[in-house]
Amino acid sequence: MRDLDFNKALVFFAHPDDAEFMAGGSIIKWVAEGKQIVLCVVTNGANGSNDPSMKREALIASREEEQREAAKITGVSDVVFLGYEDCMVEDSHELRRDMIREIRRHKPDVVIGPDPTMYFFADQYINHPDHRKVGEALCAAVSPGAATVPMYRDELFDKGFEPHHLTAAFFGLTNSPNFWVDIEDVLEKKIQSVSVHHTQTPEFGDQFTERMKMIASFNAEGSDYKYAEAYRAMYFRER
Ligand SMILES: [Zn+2]
């Protein structure tokens, strides 16, 4: 496992609440170290309720508000909403272009997103297809997208979005981790950041806290930590 020094990260996830679930502890720690974290939420979260009385526009607005509240807790400096339809994400050229544009706009050292190869988690969870598709599009946006001049030249380069080189990419929600962040001392704050997504965690309570601890403990397997967030990390430039 390698230490990673960086100043700025751009975090891509599919749904409002994904970033806190999958990387909230890491974000809290990185912000405390003085790093700047920008969050890019790909979908509008419009399918994130089983309540038949919930109105679509109200849910979208609530989830955006919840995401902004969570970002205040984790210390994210800016939240970008791309507004793709929840549950319908594809690895499209449109999404790749939007991601490349945000990478070129915010110029992070590292990007963070979901592992696109992740289908099954711990014999208990089939990964949401939006998570995989965001991961796939992000891979393309990272390489060859962000640093390649001709990629979407007239839509990006010719409009001033200059190519940008990344130092590393971290893919969370992964079955093949090679990098862990110790989140034991910030686990409580991470759980708090997840809990403000009220539309997603109405049953928030002791059971939820225990479940979050269980996941953090599971993610620590393979590391020396008790509670962790785990990533498949790719390092660029150093070969
Ligand atoms: Zn999600």
Pick from 30, 40, 46, 31: nearest CA to 10? 40
In the reported structure, the alpha carbon of residue 14 is separated from the centroid of ligand 1 by a whole-number distance in angstroms of 6
Strand runs labelled E in the chain = 8-13, 36-43, 78-84, 110-114, 120-121, 125-126, 168-172, 179-182, 228-235
Q: What is the DSSP letter of 180?
A: E
DSSP, residue by residue, 45-111: -TT----TT--HHHHHHHHHHHHHHHHHHHT-SEEEEEEEPTT-----HHHHHHHHHHHHHH--SEE
% of the chain surpassing 70 pLDDT: 96
CATH of the domain spanning 8-235: 3.40.50.10320
In the reported structure, the alpha carbon of residue 21 is separated from the centroid of ligand 1 by a whole-number distance in angstroms of 9
Q: What is the pLDDT of residue 200?
A: 86
In the reported structure, the alpha carbon of residue 182 is separated from the centroid of ligand 1 by a whole-number distance in angstroms of 22
Per-residue pLDDT tens over the stretch 179-219 = 999 999 999 999 999 999 988 876 666 788 999 999 999 99
Per-residue pLDDT tens over the stretch 11-51 = 999 999 999 999 999 999 999 999 999 999 999 999 988 88
CB 197 within 8 A of CB 66: yes
Residue 133 and residue 150: Cα distance in Å, rounded? 23
Lowest pLDDT segment from 50-59, 126-135, 157-166: 50-59
Q: What is the pLDDT of residue 233?
A: 96
Collect all residues with Cβ–Cβ distance below 8 Å to 94 and sequence separation of at least 6: none
Residue 29 and residue 38: Cα distance in Å, rounded? 14
Mean pLDDT, the chain, whole residue set: 94
The neighbour count for residue 72, using CB atoms within 10 Å, is 12
Per-residue pLDDT tens over the stretch 31-42 = 999 999 999 999
Instruction: With cut-offs at 50, 70 and 90, classify the pLDDT of residue 1.
Output: very low
Instruction: Please compute the mean of the pLDDT values over residues 95-109 and round it to a whole number.
Output: 98
In the reported structure, the alpha carbon of residue 207 is separated from the centroid of ligand 1 by a whole-number distance in angstroms of 20
CB 11 within 8 A of CB 27: yes
In the reported structure, the alpha carbon of residue 239 is separated from the centroid of ligand 1 by a whole-number distance in angstroms of 34
Residue type, 127: N
Instruction: With cut-offs at 50, 70 and 90, classify the pLDDT of residue 5.
Output: confident
Residue type, 85: E
In the reported structure, the alpha carbon of residue 43 is separated from the centroid of ligand 1 by a whole-number distance in angstroms of 9
Residue 146 predicted with pLDDT over 70: yes
CB 96 within 8 A of CB 155: no
CB 209 within 8 A of CB 191: yes
Q: What is the DSSP letter of 126?
A: E
Residue 112 and residue 20: Cα distance in Å, rounded? 12
